[in-house]
Amino acid sequence: MKFPIKTITMSTLLVSNSLAEMEDKSNAVRSLRNSKRTKSPKTSSKSSKAKGYEIWAPDQSNSVADEGTLGNKGSYLWIWDSKDMVDVHSEPTPLSCTPNKAQGPCDIYDIFPLALDEYDADGVKTGNTLGDLNGFGRFHGALKDPSNNRYINVNMFTPSGGYVGVMDTTTKEAIGLFRVAATTGTGSERSVHMSFWAVDGSAIIIANLHGKMVERIDVTRNSDGEITDLSFNRSASVYLGKDFSLKAEPTYFLGHNAFGRPLIGSIVGSYDDADTGDLTPALACKEVGCTDANAVATEGGERTNNVPVCPIPSMNSNVYVTMGGGGLLVLKSTETPMQIVGEYGDAIVNGAGCAGTQSQNQVFLNAGVSASGAGSDQSTFTLYTLDDTLYSGPSTMQNYPPAQQVFKDSSNTNTLGNVDGVVSTDSTGQIPQHTTRRDSHGAVNTIDGKYVHVADRIQNVVEVFDAETYEHVSTYDLVSMDGQSGRSGPSGACRIKSVTDDAGLVLNDPAPDLMDITPDGKYIVIGFRGPAPVTVGHAAQGSCPGVGIVEVTKGGKSGKLVNVLRASNVTPDSVGITVTGGHDYIGKERSDVHQVTVISK
């Protein structure tokens, strides 16, 4: 007997949260904000479809010129209307986010003004403004709040920065901004690689990558679903490394946004109540090399470098924390601190996964190459599935419930925990038609949940799997007009929209990254990388930065690229771009879209 399929995608990332009731922290600032905000009327799903949707695409490139370092200062947000998405011969005008500009893209410094004041955990000004601080750049991702489609999170990934914000999608204004804790986990101390919403919108789960922490912001709402408070809860945190040492507490920012309305925020709890120990519930080291005398051996490989890549929530309040060095930890997000309820070695779940999607009770997770320089000679395309219903609480069992391998490419190198490959490294770079490397990254379900589409960032293809049988059903490419002809057939939209200011750059190279699906299920939208990749440069150089529009075909079993909404950030920067395994780019295009999300109107 078949049951209706429930799904989550990279952008909805559902978590059924039931957080303990927060202390009422309403104050005059919040009351003022709520009284001044314009309420958006509730609409049915039918009327939402009639109104269309918007495509939001964070751009990692600097919005400040002549920085010298990519993804270091400022960023852009591109927003397009759905009515403009399929005409390959047009260049639609991006929408504005601020009252003083008629069109986009939106500068992150306009959304979050530099004059915002920083506050410590006691609610006291630190003396700094946002403009005084470093690392507010590299807009890495913006995921929508699935509870009402009204808010997105803002993840700024510059190392040592560590900023996570919240925007209202109806007014396109900032409502909150935080800076995560700094630890001795890595040299850069803190950064926000990505954060994710709970399904009911009651929390934001944060991957503090360089801090080796998973942290949580608790969200309070009124009866209309409007956010009235954002509380960074230190007690909820889980440290993933070893020998925890706090270097700087989290902070938050207050002041007025571009619309003259006040931001909200607070910090609660204590790291004294958080999980900062070295051991898992099974008494294994969270990360290899801990010195706790009670530690037992890690089974199924090790966890060598627990920088959290993506904390992917599920329908049952579990958070699947993928890690750069391999292995997996599963947290129960509704507990304080969040509890480890599943633990896996890197030989069981290989490293560097970022995308996840859920169909029925099965969570699908991928594995790709390392983002660090070590990944330049790695090749990884793997997909796993785990039963989300089998996690109940802290367990003394390692590698349970079992992770099932759905697909592993035979060319995978023996890296990041993999021991099944035939080669140890692959040094063929990333240039199309020359490289044999693979890199699984973005993933999304079809709207009915029957099929899982997983993109290969190097080979410019999408692999499609049956979500029920796990069968590999098809491969389609993102370079040809029909999605089947590859480079031997008529070129597709990326060729038309490719950068042309450097004759040495290979054209028609989408470099697909993270993805989402439109509310009607007709299109998959994918972030396409640029010729000057800010992150994972050895696997993510592309020629048509922006958003790829893929028409879903054959009932969800396949697809074809029909357009690219081109982003552009042509700068006067004179610095040449060295790209490992790719082309050393000498042009001026700096746009680098990493992720995309669809917002219903």
pLDDT of residue 573: 72
Which range among 22-36, 175-189, 370-384 shows the weakest confidence by mean pLDDT? 22-36
Residue 496 sits at φ, ψ, to 5 deg, of -65, -35
pLDDT in tens, 458-486: 999 999 999 999 999 999 999 999 999 99
DSSP E strands, 402-533: 404-408, 440-445, 451-456, 461-466, 472-477, 512-517, 523-528
Q: What per-residue confidence (pLDDT) applies to 79?
A: 99
Residue 25 clears pLDDT 50, i.e. is over it: no
What pLDDT score was predicted for residue 50? 58
The alpha carbon of residue 140 and the mean position of all alpha carbons in its chain are separated, in whole angstroms, by 7
> Does pLDDT of 26 surpass 50?
no
> Which tokens is 310 given?
């993506």
User: What domains lie within the chain, and their CATH numbers?
Assistant: 7-19+48-600 (2.130.10.10)
The answer to whether 52 and 82 have CB atoms below 8 angstroms apart is yes
| pLDDT tens for each residue of 494-521 | 999 999 999 999 999 999 999 999 999 9
pLDDT for the residue numbered 47 = 45
pLDDT of the residue at 72: 94
Is the model's pLDDT at 20 over the cut of 90?
A: no
pLDDT digits (tens, 9 = 90+) for 305-345: 999 999 999 999 999 999 999 999 999 999 999 999 999 99
Q: Has residue 42 got a pLDDT over 90?
A: no
Across-strand partners of 310? 322
Higher pLDDT, 23 or 484: 484
Residue 10: pLDDT over 80: no
**Is the torsion defined by CA of 312, 199, 467, 55 positive or negative?**
negative
- For residue 402, what are the contacts with CB-CB under 8 A and spacing of at least 6? 386
Q: Each residue of 264-299: pLDDT tens digit?
A: 999 999 999 999 999 999 999 999 999 999 999 999
What is the rounded average pLDDT of the residues 381-407?
A: 97
Say whether pLDDT at 133 is over 50. yes
User: What pairs with residue 229 in β-bridges?
Assistant: 220
Q: What is the chain's alpha carbon radius of gyration, rounded to the nearest angstrom?
A: 22
Give strand pairing partners of 330. Answer: 320, 342
Q: 388: how many CB neighbours lie within 10 A of its CB?
A: 19
DSSP-derived secondary structure for 240-275: -SSS--EEE--EEEESB-TTSPBP--EEES-TTSSB
Q: Is the pLDDT of residue 7 over 70?
A: no
Residues of the chain with pLDDT > 70, as a percent, come to 92
Residue 16: pLDDT above 70?
no
